[in-house]
Structure 1
């Protein structure tokens, strides 16, 4: 059945913050992981950006995202205890608010460190408990810096720390449910192997996407081997059943086109 309507989806951007990322000392694995999670929710990011630990650059980049009409902004990094961790102050400046020490976060730190007086809280912990005024704060189940949510204009900013283990824990515990409420759709995906080269299969992928506009098909030449050229098929729908049904239709259509030209076509096992 031909798809004729696409549900409007909030624009999402990811910002990975850290000079170590920009100069190539550390790989930005957080953005890769978050993009996959967002796509599964039906919220694929439209842009991923790496930024150095420079407050002017960070604030300008955030402002540009707002001017692009981005509605959901995810950031990783810059929430730690060191002087170059500046994400909170940049977002607060953009929102036109002050920063404050979150009492609930301080109380959580004291409980976990078994401190009896707030004066025992280190400057580093106090810095990680500092948030923009008006923010909603979600505790970190495996680390210290919390997830911080703050509306800025028409966008919602979600600030995550940098360590991948903490990003993933905060996403699973708090962020996934929050974002799922914003998504009008979900997605399903699979990978197939076709006995064609990219130039041969590309017109077929375009034909399937024209027939089923709520799909995305992509061939990966870099992953090609003796068993064929890998092609990802992604389908979006208002619910899991709809997305699964559309995925099946798109895969069947591609299979007919490939095999109709006398070439091999097979599904790969789920990852």
Structure 2
């Protein structure tokens, strides 16, 4: 039959395994969020690139429309200028000349707009190239980060399987009734059912226990609970006494 110290040590080991398991599970639970963060960085860079690309496409579309309209208007002016020699009356000549002047001024304005759009296109292209490079860097970095995340997840899953196997073995060393009590306290106390007492302080709730209880724990001949947090408590010195000096 196991001594009480052995039972407490078995509980201590079980608690440690459960704490490690919780840490690994937390790592695994964080994986989707980290993956979303990686994907989000790429998405932000792609969105910025697409917005700049849309600006370029809008600029090109507006320039083509203006250039097409300008070509049509210049052809019209040429035709009007060709008709000037055919006009017989001064009034008609003056009227057509006035229309030609108005059309030329409008064409000059459109030409200036085309030049402005061309200059803007150069600036947009520079921004587009920069954002394209940023997108490529983000995509490359995302591949590296995703690969590292996948490797970390695989290792965590392997550790979790090993911890599950260790827990199954450790649980065998704990009396069924004590194990049931442990599991019940663990559910109510944020996963920590067993806590050492150092000096007179429970490391579960960080509050002092009564002096008489501290003395009882030193004997390590009974299962006790903290009067404050109701966790199973034990004396670290009693359960894990320092090794005897060989000097």
| TM, length-normalised to structure 2 | 0.21
Structure with greater strand percent: 1
| TM, length-normalised to structure 1 | 0.20
> Which structure has more RCO (C-alpha within 8 Å, separation ≥ 6)?
2
Structure with greater helix percent: 2
